Amino acid sequence: MSGSLKLVILGLSLSSSWGNGHATTYRALLKALAARGHDVLFLERNATWYAAHRDLTDPDYCRLAFYDDLAGLERWAEEVRGADAVIVGSYVPEGVAVGRWARETAVGPVAFYDIDTPVTLAKLGRGDEEYLAADAIADFDLYFSFTGGPTLDRLERIFGSPAARALYCSADPDIYRPLEAPRRWDLSYLGTYSDDRQPVLERLLIEAARRAPHLKFAVAGPQYPADIAWPANVERLEHVAPADHPAFYAASRFTLNVTRADMVAAGFSPSIRLFEAAACATPIISDVWDGLDTVFGLGQEILTATSTDDVLAALDLPEAERDAIGQGGRRRVLTAHTPTHRAETLERELRAAARRRTAPLMTPDLKTSGTREPMMLDQTTKRRILVAGGAGFLGSHLCDRLLDSGARVLCVDNLLTGSMDNLRQALRRPNFEFIEADIVEPLPARITSRAFDRIYNLACPASPPLYQADPEHTLLTSVLGTKHLLDLAEKTGARFLLSSTSEIYGDPHVHPQPETYWGHVNSTGPRACYDEGKRCAETLTFDFSRAGRGEVRVARIFNTYGPRLSAADGRVVSSVVSQALAGDDITVFGDGSQTRSFCYVDDMIDGLIALMEHDGPEPGPINLGNPAEMTVNELVEVVLKITGSTSRVKRMDLPVDDPKRRRPDIAKAQTVLGWRPITTLEQGLTATMNWFDGRADGAASIPKPAAEPAAVA
């Protein structure tokens, strides 16, 4: 399944947005799919209610067709058989039979798209199979859910879904955008009446209106009982058409979000109204539920309230703070919650489902194959993983790989040396969350209140210019930061991996360096903040294990390179490559005879995951690196050859304590993990240069690795 996709979607309604959120969701998603070059046929049951309220009959981004009954679907059987994938939506009339027909007719993967997941699961709990049968969930290749978080685990673990993935709704920022309009209301609410929402609406809006008669409020939506005692300063609007939503939000100083009880109980269930209002830059006051902070930043992009007092305090905020929250919400929508983001998720997951049909997921056996297969985690227990330092070079690649495996990833980074640019791919993924925090400080409650299965500690600058810029902070990151993460691992029962370094061997007297070598480190030199910090972090980690407080893994990482390596961080590969591509003089310290061993980033990520997922006894520290050793002069020659650059070499004094030789002994990694690097230097450098030069995505440009270990030509 490559290139443009041919998709068939059987949904509740595309033609009518009256009284349902399905049409709005489908319209935004299908427009984005069309913009990405995909062909979509939408099949809608010709229902009397929606036929009488159609506001879209001939969309220009898909084909819309109607069928009258199950027999009428046979007209479209050839289209379904010829589709790359078929999607059946929730609340489709006779949905159980429609889903069965789709699975029996389709050749490609068939997904269920649940826009009502908490309602669906509540129905199944009562034995109500109105549109989905419980035993059919395992028969769909993929379950797209409006609800993320633990619900995805439940769908896989209890109902047997092969792959449950969050696919939230979204708002088209071209339609939902800030408008200039007079402010009619201080607080508005848009939503159809429901018994379970009304008590919250009473507390957060109606009572606020009673206590603040000088302010103006609005409640828009149908089906509210006539006996509700609305305060005089609450304006009622029976219906606001979707086309008028941006104007409605523009007229509101704040707008209120109230979530259905089933969605609150499930958590991780953002409504379309959240994204619409945020895209319009209208500040939102929301009720509180688990997972809200994975969608918007609390306090910066959205406000929360549990009481009338909370609402009144928010309404009293200065206009500058109000506007900042509104703009923050819109920025979050633009970076993570547009229809394009959802289309990318759907496309990626459908392709993955197609691959699963033809090849079962497997963990690589590099002992025998010598080739890289995707490192997959257990799909039935989708792991909850924290990556500290996840916005850095290695950390961001690790986040991407873990997300590809189906894990839910929380990235924590202080952004002193990491970059949000490194997370551009991850931020588009529904199972990814970023929290800006410094692990030197006690971890905030929004981290410590959660449970994790795995914790990777990659938080610390790794290049001399960066870690020497603030040596105290570097040392404390290794010591206090590791302590804080170990405490979290103990509390939550997570397995912990420390990314240590080859620098703990210092300027070694033993070559190559095995894990049994204690090293030769200058404990008072300018590099000691990093070298000794990592040595102390290892001590803490192994003491934690010896005390029986949890499972630990320690990776001693040797020189690694690849896309996203900063040209300014002072590491030899990034410096040489960027200077050669620019035609600048190439800086070589000393006479260039010092040696290094260069490991490509994909190989390193394979090793880190293999070590973390090693289920045997605690193996002690393990070297991860490429055993092929070369001088800096030889590296420069290879780079000049590949780039065709005419750059000249400029020599400078060797830095204090710079090691003369560095090469890992990886026998332990091969024996314990079955791991060894498989990317050749030329392949890795070419990919890295492509990334630096902006010609291609370096990671995607690597040819299939050879079966032999990397070697210097």
Tell me the catalytic residues.
530
Task: Provide the sign of the torsion angle of the four alpha carbons 290, 294, 300, 301, taken in this order.
Answer: negative
Instruction: For residue 395, give the H/E element and its range.
Output: helix 393-404
Please tell me the distance from the alpha carbon of residue 271 to that of residue 276, in angstroms, as a whole number: 9
Task: Provide the sign of the torsion angle of the four alpha carbons 225, 231, 235, 240, taken in this order.
Answer: negative
CA neighbor of 110 nearest in space, from 86, 136, 138, 135: 86
Query: If you compute the radius of gyration of the chain from its CA atoms, what whole number of angstroms results?
Result: 28
Type of residue numbered 307 = S
* Residues near 447 by beta carbon (within 8 Å), at least 6 away in sequence: 386, 410, 412, 435, 437, 488
For 703: left if phi > 0, alpha if psi spans -120 to 50, otherwise beta; the answer is: beta
Residue-by-residue DSSP string for 645-709: --PPEEEEPPPTT--S---B--HHIIIII-------HHHHHHHHHHHHHTSS-GGGGPPPPPSSP
Type of residue numbered 516 = T
Please tell me the distance from the alpha carbon of residue 194 to that of residue 215, in angstroms, as a whole number: 25
- Burial class, 693, CB count within 10 angstroms (exposed 0-12 / middle 13-18 / buried 19+): middle
584: phi then psi, degrees, rounded to nearest 5: -85, 165
- Cα-based distances in Å from 97 to 81, 109, 127, 133: 17, 17, 17, 9
Tally helices (H) and strands (E) across the chain.
Answer: 26, 26
